[in-house]
Amino acid sequence: MFAIDTNLLVYAHNTDSEFHEQAAAFITKVVNERDHKGRHTICLPTQVLSEFVHVVTWQRVEKPLSIIEAIRVVRDYRDVGIPIIHQRATQIQTFLELLESGTTRKKVFDMVLAATLKDNGISGLYTVNVGDFKTFDFLQIVNPLQPPSN
């Protein structure tokens, strides 16, 4: 299963973003995908949903959503059954272990997200910021907006 990072949600819901059409098409595709047992192939961490609301309603965004619109988007994902993953009781231990691995403090919030994914057994992350997550060898990182390299 793959998690979706904040940047893809923001691009998909910000109609003035240069990446809007591509991100919206990708999100629509993966929201509708199911595995052989009929389960979603993606999930959304609570951290990502919180960051999404924060970023997409920010006045610096090309076309910010109102808080009501952002809440509606989050509820829509929840209501269609996208699995929402949460921090587990092991979160702080996993986070500290990742922090000790030598990653700089500049990636603290990426480490929190990575710890949530690791603790929930999530093996992949769709993100535009591939470089931010390359140090986490337990994750397969994919930028769905970039064509695969040969």
CATH number of the domain encompassing residue 63:
3.40.50.1010
> Would you give the distance in Å from CA 101 to the centre of its chain?
22
Q: Are strands 42-45 and 2-4 parallel, antiparallel or unpaired?
A: parallel
- Domain carrying residue 99: 2-142
Q: Is residue 149 part of a domain?
A: no
Give 86-131 pLDDT, tens digit per residue.
Answer: 999 999 999 999 988 765 666 889 999 999 999 999 999 999 999 9
User: Where would I find the beta strands (DSSP E) of the chain?
Assistant: 2-4, 42-45, 84-85, 124-126, 140-142
| Confidence (pTM) | 0.92
- Round to whole Å and give the CA distance between 83 and 127: 18
Q: Is residue 150 part of a domain?
A: no
Q: What is the pLDDT of residue 82?
A: 97
